[in-house]
Amino acid sequence: MEHPVYDLAIAPMLHMLKNLDAIVSKAEAHLDAHPDIEPATLVQARLYPNMRSFVFQVQVATDVAKGAAARLSGNTPPSWPDDEESLDDIHQRIRKAIDFISGFSPEDFDGAEQRDIELKLREETMRLSGTEYISSFALPNVFFHVTTAYNILRHNGVPLGKRDFLGWK
């Protein structure tokens, strides 16, 4: 394995974002088959009233993935507004993240295991090595939020299965 950070962190996050985009396409097909469901219902759907919405899950998954690619390559993450209101807007955000991450080469992450990562979360600043950042923050967060987005859509009747989550045809 020549580029472990790319192979074990960046590539899986990119894969999950592509799966998430395909899952959103399945949500659109579900809405086409059920014209009585308002699209905003899925965009704002939650698993429980005190949990965050589907669109929030997508925003965080894309923010963490683009942030990881930027930080681990020694760059500053771009800031994007959280203003998505439709499934088309959500597609655009996911594809923007995919395009951003795809702009890096595996070589951009050489030595990232030891890179010092400073992460500001609300009032707290965390200082992690690249390896700690990947294993304890970036990957778990991307998987958590993509899983939650999947579960919200599944809970709302979108016909999704494990193969959709994994991206298997």
CATH superfamily of 4-116+149-166: dinb family like domain (1.20.120.450)
Q: Is the pLDDT of residue 32 over 80?
A: yes
Judge whether residue 67 has pLDDT over 90: yes
Across 67-87, average pLDDT: 97
Q: Where are the alpha helices (H) located in 85-155, listed in sequence order?
A: 87-102, 130-133, 139-155
Is pLDDT of 49 > 80? yes
Is the pTM of the predicted complex or chain greater than 0.85? yes
| pLDDT attached to residue 1 | 62
Helix (H) or strand (E) holding 166, with range, is: helix 162-166
Structural domain boundaries in the chain = 4-116+149-166
